[in-house]
Amino acid sequence: MLEDITDSIIDWADGFGLLGLAIVSSTEAAFQPAPPDLLVLPMVLGADSSMEILAIVLVATISSVIGAIGGYGIGAYAGRPLLERFANENTVNRLENLTIRYGSAGIFVAAVSPIPYKALAWAAGAGRMDLRLFIIAGLFGRGLRFGLAGLVLGIWGDEFLSLIQDPMAWLIGSAACLALFIPLAKWWSELSESVDASNNSV
């Protein structure tokens, strides 16, 4: 069902160009599930100039951060019960601990990584994180995420498309992802453990 919703959102937004990208980027950072990357990547590959790629990156970045401010407001208003409605207790603890222990660096990680940006925006709002730091970290994180996509695909788009059809490239890529996943999974697990330990010590 979630995949159907995502596909419907992307299909709808695809016909509106940069406006559709802005709508998807902002709403994804606040409440909806469709990641803007599904629009950014094909738009960059189809761009005719570096200025068009720059426009795509800027629209995705700025719109996403504006949406995240809305997500922050939702979290500030609804608090922890909102997080508990959409995630289990361990995940909520991890999100809260990410903002408490790492502050703006945690927001940066969420903005760059697959961690749901909206969920951390909710947690940051619920924890009343400094809004200015939240915005700055989001701009850097989202700018890096979409900027790298624009840079790599804008310069080496054709080569990249050829590369992903090579089985050896898939093998090397899978090994690299696994090497990154293991320490990240351990770190993500320890986020929950540290919260549990602090709760037990009280």
Span 72-82, pLDDT tens digits:
999 999 888 88
Q: What are the distances in angstroms from CA 186 to CA 84, 97, 111, 189, 192? A: 23, 15, 20, 5, 10
Residue whose structure tokens are 């999100």: 95
Higher pLDDT, residue 134 or 187: 134
What residue spans define the domains of the chain?
2-156
Question: Mean per-residue pLDDT for 54-60?
Answer: 95
Rg (CA), the chain: 18
3-state secondary structure 66-83: HHHHHHHHHHHHHCHHHH
In the block, tokens 């939240």 appear at 134
pLDDT band at residue 196, thresholds of 50, 70 and 90?
very low
More confident residue, 16 or 173: 16
**pLDDT at 170 exceeding the cut of 70:** no
Report the percentage of the chain scoring pLDDT > 90.
32
8-state DSSP, 164: T
Q: Tell me, what amino acid is at 198?
A: S
What pLDDT sits at residue 154? 82
Q: Which of 60-74, 116-130, 158-172 is the most confident on average? A: 60-74
Residue 37, amino acid:
D
> Contact at 8 Å (CB) between 40 and 34?
no
> What are the helix (H) ranges across 79-166?
80-86, 89-102, 104-112, 117-126, 131-163
- The CA-to-CA distance between both ends of the chain, in Å, stands at 42
**CA angle (3 as vertex; 89, 180 as ends), nearest 5:** 60
Asked which of 23-27, 106-110, 145-149 is least confident by mean pLDDT, the reply is: 106-110
- What is the CA 112 to chain-centroid distance, rounded? 6
